[in-house]
Amino acid sequence: MRTFILLLFLVGCSEAPDTRQHTNPWLGDGSVAAFQLDEDFEVDLTGDGVPELVGVTVGGETIRTLEIELTVTSAGGDLLHGDTWSAGDYPQISRDEDLPTWVASEVVRDHLNELLADESLEPLVEDEIEGADHLVGRPALRYLAGDRYTVLVWDPEAGAFVIAVY
């Protein structure tokens, strides 16, 4: 079982007072330095017995402008899938311009923890992707990219991911 503890680092600390509220590890009030995360894990998404590298990279100057990148790379280094979105695209953040930074950071952290959890890699179920019932039972990666829920499953006949976005 994969277990991740989401750690974020404040780069280039300023002289500004510590404005953290609660136990928020994102630090700051949205006006200080930069937020960063670089996490990856191996999982066999193609079913060939060789794990792919799933990487999640996060960086930005404020919580609302964080750019989140997800990549799936083959063992040989080929990019099989890439996706990028902004933390400001999450509906909970985009709907409320006055949302406190510590609340917005918890929204992003919760979504990233879901992406990095074992539950994001459950096998594809029937009717989950239209026209892909022949792939039922294959490993599928699920994640929320801002306001888009995405499901990836490898189709060995096509040699590519079938991607559904909801």
For residue range 75-86, list pLDDT tens digits in order: 999 999 999 999
Which pLDDT belongs to residue 44? 94
Which pLDDT belongs to residue 3? 37
* Sheet with strand 9-11: strands edge to edge: 9-11, 34-43, 52-60, 67-73, 79-86
Which pLDDT belongs to residue 37? 77
How many other CB atoms are found less than 10 A from the CB of residue 54?
24
**Contact yes or no for 132/124 (Cβ under 8 A):** yes
Which pLDDT belongs to residue 35? 64
Which pLDDT belongs to residue 116? 84
Segments in the chain below pLDDT 70: 1-35
Which pLDDT belongs to residue 163? 95
Which pLDDT belongs to residue 82? 97
Which pLDDT belongs to residue 27? 42
